[in-house]
């Protein structure tokens, strides 16, 4: 259903307003350059600082402009269950193919609270749901057992795993089998993640290197000697980019890289700020090493 290179889309701004023109160009850039799926209004899309109307707008534009050419996995999570339900119902109504729902941040729910949160969304919606497990940002970590319980529900289909713990892939595969979709949220571990049973990534780097990321994913999901060598070669090219994208808080570095590639401005919303001169040098060097500039 969802696999390969799915881009965690940045949200372009101009004078602190949504830059619809460049956002639409970005969507078509990905359609033309091999990206396998679009993920609007996630962390990389600065969802915490989007107004409710803007949040809905970026998903609507993504669905409209992709016109069914690529699946759209809308970021609809919140630490308010009712708000997550509202955003997910809206995404379903306008034709998104799935919803990416982050574990509730700040509230620190128990495992039972996590289960009930997702169950409430599941029960009110009819769209495939990916759990977004990212304890580094949301503080709480959903256990494999809790995911297994959720997988019994009609709409829960997989996880974006941003724990950085590769053993989770094996544990999840053993518990839920191959039908449970596992996508990494960590670009740098994508090769090993797929070796262990993952089927792709929701990628920050894909914003600026869609062809490389989709080629990498295509190669890594094959199981022959030639593909293994090709995957390792592509991973070596991509690693400097992956590392550069997280020198400072995401998405400031990737937006600067996008600016260098004339994709959009590097404007971010407070409390994020533009990257330092030192980080600019690191990003530019990584782009040159990957022959993107």
164-184 residue pLDDT tens:
999 999 999 999 999 999 999
The CB-side HSE value for 78 (13 A sphere, CA atoms) comes to 17
- Predicted confidence at residue 214, as pLDDT, reads 98
**Longest pairwise C-alpha distance within the chain:** 50
Please tell me what DSSP assigns to residue 104.
Answer: P
- Alpha carbon dihedral 190, 186, 39, 171, in 10-degree steps, equals 70
> CB–CB of 214/250 below 8 Å?
no
* Alpha carbons 122 and 257: distance in angstroms, whole number: 37
Of the candidates 57, 115, 118, 160, the residue annotated as catalytic is: 160
Count other Cβ atoms within 10 Å, centred on residue 231.
22
At residue 140 the predicted structure's pLDDT band, cuts being 50, 70 and 90, is: very high
Helix and strand totals (H; E) in the chain: 12, 10
- Predicted confidence at residue 224, as pLDDT, reads 82
Count other Cβ atoms within 10 Å, centred on residue 92.
20
Count other Cβ atoms within 10 Å, centred on residue 165.
14
* Alpha carbons 256 and 285: distance in angstroms, whole number: 12
38-89 residue pLDDT tens:
999 999 999 999 999 999 999 999 999 999 999 999 999 999 999 999 999 9
184-206 residue pLDDT tens:
999 999 999 999 999 999 999 99
* Alpha carbons 23 and 13: distance in angstroms, whole number: 9
255 in active site = no
pLDDT score of 225 more than 90: no
- Predicted confidence at residue 243, as pLDDT, reads 98
Count other Cβ atoms within 10 Å, centred on residue 17.
10
Residue whose pair of structure tokens reads 């119902």 in the numeric block: 89
Q: Determine the angle formed by the axes of helices 52-66 and 20-32, rounding to 10 degrees.
A: 40
Strand partners for 23? none
Q: What CATH code is assigned to 4-224?
A: 3.20.20.70
**Percent of the chain surpassing pLDDT 90:** 98
Average pLDDT, the chain: 97
pLDDT score of 223 more than 80: no
Give me the mean pLDDT over the 101-121 stretch: 98
Of the candidates 132, 255, 256, 259, the residue annotated as catalytic is: 132
User: Distances from the Cα of 22 to the Cαs of 25, 29, 128, 258, in angstroms?
Assistant: 5, 10, 28, 11
- Predicted confidence at residue 230, as pLDDT, reads 96
Domain boundaries defined on the chain: 4-224
- Predicted confidence at residue 1, as pLDDT, reads 83
160 in active site = yes
Give me the mean pLDDT over the 96-106 stretch: 98
* Backbone CA torsion sign across 35, 74, 194, 122: negative
| Helix ranges (DSSP H) in 11-130 | 20-32, 52-66, 81-94, 111-124
**Which residues, in sequence order, are CB contacts of 110 under 8 Å at separation 6+?**
none
Burial class (CB in 10 A: 0-12, 13-18, 19+), 143: middle
Cα 16-18-24 angle, rounded to 5 deg: 145
Tell me the two tokens of residue 9: 């889309």
């Amino acid at each position: 259903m969802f696999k390969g290179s799915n881009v965690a889309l940045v949200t372009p701004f101009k004078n602190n307003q949504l830059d619809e023109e460049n956002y639409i160009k970005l969507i078509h850039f990905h359609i033309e350059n091999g990206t396998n799926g679009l993920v609007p209004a996630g962390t990389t899309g600065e969802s915490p600082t989007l107004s409710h109307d803007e949040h809905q707008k970026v998903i609507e534009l993504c669905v409209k402009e992709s016109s069914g050419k690529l699946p759209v996995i809308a970021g609809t999570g919140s630490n308010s269950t009712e708000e997550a339900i509202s955003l997910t119902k809206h995404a379903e109504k306008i034709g998104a193919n799935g919803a990416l729902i982050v574990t509730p941040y700040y509230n620190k729910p128990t495992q039972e609270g996590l289960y009930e949160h997702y169950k409430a969304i599941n029960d009110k919606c009819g769209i495939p749901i990916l759990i977004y497990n990212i304890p580094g940002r949301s503080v709480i970590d959903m256990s494999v057992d809790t995911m297994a319980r959720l997988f019994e529900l009609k709409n829960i289909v997989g996880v974006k795993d941003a724990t950085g713990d590769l053993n989770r892939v094996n544990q999840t595969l053993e518990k839920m089998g191959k039908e449970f979709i596992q996508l990494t949220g960590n670009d740098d571990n994508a090769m090993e993640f797929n070796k262990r049973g993952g089927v792709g990534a929701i990628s920050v780097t894909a914003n600026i290197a869609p062809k490389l990321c989709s080629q990498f994913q295509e190669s890594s999901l094959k199981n022959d000697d030639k593909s293994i060598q090709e995957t390792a070669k592509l991973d070596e090219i991509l690693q400097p980019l992956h590392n550069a994208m997280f020198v400072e808080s995401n998405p400031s570095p990737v937006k600067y890289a996008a600016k260098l590639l004339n994709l959009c401005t590097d404007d971010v919303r407070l409390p994020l700020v533009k990257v330092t001169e030192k980080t600019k040098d690191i990003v530019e060097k990584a782009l040159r090493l990957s022959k993107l500039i």
